[in-house]
């Protein structure tokens, strides 16, 4: 049903007219377009792509991401300077991994403990030893210092040392074994005063 105010092509109209024309406005500009029912083919390629998205969305909900993990993904999205949430960034990276036929060993339940003026200990769960590296720095966009994790089921432990007192640090963890592309969002903590 179309709603009109005055003649159809002169003042304004909105909605569909007999499933042939669609009237509306976009940013204050009136327009008319043909009514189109979008094609929704169920080709094998399209089903495969939908499967990638379904798997990524399911992983977000069932892999065990904690509130701190979600906050880290949101900070990662914010650092990308695009209009996206942590969920959007996770799904994007997970789908890209699936398309490239790479594995994704979920990194979940990150805990930052024993924070001192010069370091801390970070633990995170991972399904198996996938050569985890912690990248840390004082900026959300530049984390160049690396620490290699020690794997002991159910995850990695990182002993972070040589930090500056009373300073905010940002870090993320990535699995670096061949054909593995999982990573975390960006976590943050502040070292204790000296």
Is residue 116 within 8 A of residue 104, CB to CB? The reply is no
Please, which pLDDT band fits residue 36 given cuts at 50, 70 and 90?
confident
pLDDT tens, 180-193?
999 999 999 999 99
pLDDT in the model for residue 5: 60
Nearest to 189 by CA among 117, 131, 125: 117
For domain 44-190, the CATH class is mainly beta
Other residues' Cβ atoms within 10 Å of the Cβ of residue 158: 24
CA–chain centroid gap for 56, Å, is: 10
How is the chain split into domains, by residue range? 2-34, 44-190
Q: Provide the mean pLDDT of the chain.
A: 91
Tens digit of each residue's pLDDT (9 = 90 or more) over 83-110: 999 999 999 999 999 999 999 999 999 9
Q: Prior bond to 154 cis, omega within 30?
A: yes
Strands 155-160 and 150-152: antiparallel
Contact by Cβ (8 Å): 124, 173:
yes
Cα first-last separation, the chain: 70
In tens, the pLDDT along 148-173 reads: 999 999 999 999 999 999 999 999 99
Give the pLDDT of residue 18. Answer: 79
pLDDT of residue 20: 81
- Secondary structure of residue 28 in the 3-state scheme: coil
Q: What percent of the chain has pLDDT over 90?
A: 74
Task: Tell me which of 18 and 184 has the higher pLDDT.
Answer: 184
Nearest to 20 by CA among 30, 9, 31, 34: 34
- φ, ψ for residue 168, nearest 5 deg: -85, 130
- The pLDDT score that the predictor gives to residue 49 is 92
């Amino acid at each position: 049903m179309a709603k009109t105010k005055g003649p159809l092509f002169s003042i304004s109209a909105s909605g569909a007219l007999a499933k042939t024309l669609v009237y509306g406005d976009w940013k204050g500009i009136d327009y008319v377009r043909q009514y189109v029912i979008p094609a929704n083919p169920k080709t094998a390629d399209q089903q495969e792509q939908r499967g990638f998205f379904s798997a990524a969305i399911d992983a977000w909900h069932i892999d065990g991401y904690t509130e701190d993990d979600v906050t880290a993904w949101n900070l990662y999205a914010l650092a990308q300077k695009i209009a996206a949430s942590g969920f959007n960034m996770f799904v994007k990276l997970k789908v890209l991994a699936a398309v490239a036929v790479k594995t994704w060993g979920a990194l979940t339940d990150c805990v930052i403990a024993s924070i001192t003026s010069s370091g801390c200990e970070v633990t995170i769960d991972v399904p198996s030893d996938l050569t985890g590296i912690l990248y840390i720095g004082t900026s959300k966009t530049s984390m160049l210092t690396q620490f290699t994790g020690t794997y002991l089921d159910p995850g990695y432990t990182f002993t972070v040392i040589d930090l500056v007192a009373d300073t905010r640090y940002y870090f993320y963890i990535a699995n670096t074994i061949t054909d593995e592309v999982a990573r975390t969002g960006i976590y943050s903590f502040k070292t204790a005063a000296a």
